[in-house]
A = this chain, B = another copy of it.
């Protein structure tokens, strides 16, 4: 992150990253499949947290309520690192390849959510639809949060976006 913020993503070589971390480029590629992945490796933990929250939701919860608890878990996981999130987001937005990688990570998040919902007994296409809506809320809320004032909490932003989607859906 330091190097990316200082001189940009493309201008930073893997050798530089490795040197800053006190190892060689070869070792870097043993931990990260490619240069981009160093910015996204943590998203697997986010996915696990989302799925775990889904599993822990009460059986009585509707699909959308279950998705809501997953979003709460995501918010509490990311909400404490606003400055880091801002830097990371700025780096990703500035680079086309990184935006691509982010899209596929989001798609995987959605697929994992849908799979978790199916394990709860939700059938298709409701599972995929609810998952897609959940990820859309996540994306919108996250962007609002990183671009908003420091005082705003991710959790409340997420819940607001969630409520807005529900209002839109019921109004239509």
- Interface stretch, picked from A77-85, A86-94, A99-107, A150-158, is A99-107
Q: How many copies does the complex hold?
A: 2
Shortest Cβ distance from residue A125 to the other chain B in the assembled complex, whole angstroms: 7
Q: Is A96's CB within 8 Å of the partner chain B?
A: yes
Shortest Cβ distance from residue A14 to the other chain B in the assembled complex, whole angstroms: 17
Name A's interface SS. helix
Partner of A100, one of B103, B136, B168: B103
Nearest chain B residue, comparing its CB with the CB of A101: B100
Q: Is A129's CB within 8 Å of the partner chain B?
A: yes
Partner of A104, one of B99, B125, B136, B168: B99
Q: List residues of chain B with CB within 8 A of the CB of A104.
A: 96, 99-100, 103
Q: Which residues of A38-58 are within 8 A (CB) of B?
A: none
Q: List residues of chain B with CB within 8 A of the CB of A172.
A: 169
A80 to B168, CA, bound (A): 38
Shortest Cβ distance from residue A112 to the other chain B in the assembled complex, whole angstroms: 16
- What are 6 A-B interface contacts by the 8 Å CB criterion? A96-B104, A99-B104, A100-B100, A100-B103, A125-B168, A132-B136
Q: A99-B104, A100-B104, A169-B172 are in contact. List 10 more A-B contacts (CB 8 A).
A: A96-B104, A100-B100, A100-B101, A100-B103, A103-B103, A103-B104, A103-B107, A125-B168, A129-B168, A132-B136
